[in-house]
Amino acid sequence: MRYRRIKGTNLEVSELAFGNFIFGSSMWGKTAAEEPEGIRLQNLAFDLGVTFFDTGDAYDNGRAEKMMTDTIAYAGRDKIILSTKFGYDFYSDAVATGAHRERKQDFSPVFLAKALEESLCRMKTDYLDLWQAHNLKLHQMNDELVETLEKLKQSGKIRHWGVALGPAIGWREEGVIAIQQWQAAVVQTVFNMLEQHPGREFCELMDQASIGGVISRVPHSSGILQDIYTLDSTFDDHRKFRDRNWLVYGLKKVEMLRHIQKKHGCTMGQLAIKWLLTWPSVASIEPNISTEADLREFATACDGKLLNQTEMLEIQNLVESDFNLGAQAHACDLKSSVSNSGITISRYQRGEPVPQCGTRVGVGS
């Protein structure tokens, strides 16, 4: 395992992050009964050199955070970088286990103070290394939020803060503001070989900034880059929100990357991680880890053997040309969380129209 210091901070994180969303929530089909296996994998991750653990208070209404207590005790609090998220008021707007509806959000100073204390209590710690605004949207970004976070940082209860963008792909404006104006320690976003926007731009902006790094989530494009699907694959979890073209054309795109994978003598899943780590401003990769085999495969990819400039340019050109497969193969790259009509875009929010992948909407599109 290799480690990277997030520029402008004192946080040194493992290149592979363990996000406990898979076992800590029901959105991937896992249940509370499988929690012991999730904890076992967390502890094994530490044994394999992973020191960066990321959870979220809203995952099954705090259950994911509680799962971290065993690993904190196993590893030692000072041996890990502990991150969680805030912003969803599941205390007053709880949803059924496994539901995909987005809950009420609250980024007020009063709610942040409450949310932080609850997270610290659930994880039995007195400070967080990193605290991320969960799926923060453009209209929720204001100076008061930054001032509140800075005060909490000065109190010693959080070391650094950032933003975790989503739930879908996009949120460019939010990321640009977080990097250029807020000087956030991290921007977490969907970023992978097939879905490069806006993550690639965030990396370029981070290169110019004095502080910050990008955390890549969904680094395997929800599994396309793991060689685990066929055209007959079906989904009953959040992948069902994906456009059918994501699967149909994604499989074709993978085959067009096969020669690079073979050259590196690795799996496609490992190549996806190596591609991300070739970006200097990528601080850590947070893949979906559901089995021990996943964990060992991804950890092995963090060996410092990255892609060369020619390979990076070849992949970039393929993405920019939609792999020469036509407009239907264009990856979803929504630019903003707000549509031109002023509607907040969220793939998990009821009662609101959702643009199809490939359309470009919002400010600056």
d(CA 169, CA 331): 9
| Residues across the chain | 365
Q: Tell me if 285 sits within 8 A of 258, measured CB to CB.
A: no
CA of 192: how far to CAs of 204, 214, 221, 286, in Å?
15, 12, 6, 11
> Which residues are 19's β-sheet partners?
54
Q: Is 134 within a domain? A: yes
Contact (Cβ atoms closer than 8 angstroms) between residue 167 and residue 189: no
- What is the model's pLDDT at position 342? 65
Please report whether residue 324 resides in a domain. yes
Mean pLDDT of the chain: 90
In the prediction, which pLDDT does 35 show?
94
Domain assignment of residue 99, yes or no: yes
The percent of residues in the chain predicted with pLDDT above 70, rounded, is 89
Domains in the chain, number: 1
For residue 336, is it within any domain?
Answer: no
Which pLDDT score, from 0 to 100, does residue 30 have? 79
The pLDDT score that the predictor gives to residue 356 is 41
> Smallest Cα–Cα separation from 58: which of 309, 348, 313?
348
- pTM of the entire structure? 0.91
**208 pLDDT band (50/70/90 cuts)?**
very high
* CA–CA distances in Å: residue 99 to residues 94, 95, 111, 145, 241: 10, 6, 23, 28, 13
Per-residue pLDDT tens digits for 276-319: 999 999 999 999 999 999 999 999 999 999 999 999 999 999 99
pLDDT for 125-182, tens place per residue? 999 999 999 999 988 999 999 999 999 999 999 999 999 998 877 788 899 999 999 9
Is 212 a member of any domain?
Answer: yes
Task: Give the domain extent around 10.
Answer: 3-329
* In a domain? residue 359: no
Are 88 and 57 in contact by the 8 Å Cβ rule? The answer is yes
* CATH code of 163's domain: 3.20.20.100
Residue 362 lies in a domain: no
Q: Which residue has the higher pLDDT, 358 or 229?
A: 229
Residue 353 lies in a domain: no
Q: Are 286 and 19 in contact (CB under 8 A)?
A: yes
Secondary structure (H, E, C), 12-66? EEECEEEECHHHHCCCCCCCHHHHHHHHHHHHHHHHCCCCEEECCCCHHHHHHHH
User: ω before 167 within 30° of 0 (cis)?
Assistant: yes
Phi–psi pair at 206, nearest 5 degrees: -65, -35
Among 196, 153, 182, which Cα is nearest to 282's?
Answer: 196
User: How does residue 243 score in pLDDT terms, banded at 50, 70 and 90?
Assistant: confident
Over 90: is that where the pLDDT of 115 sits?
yes
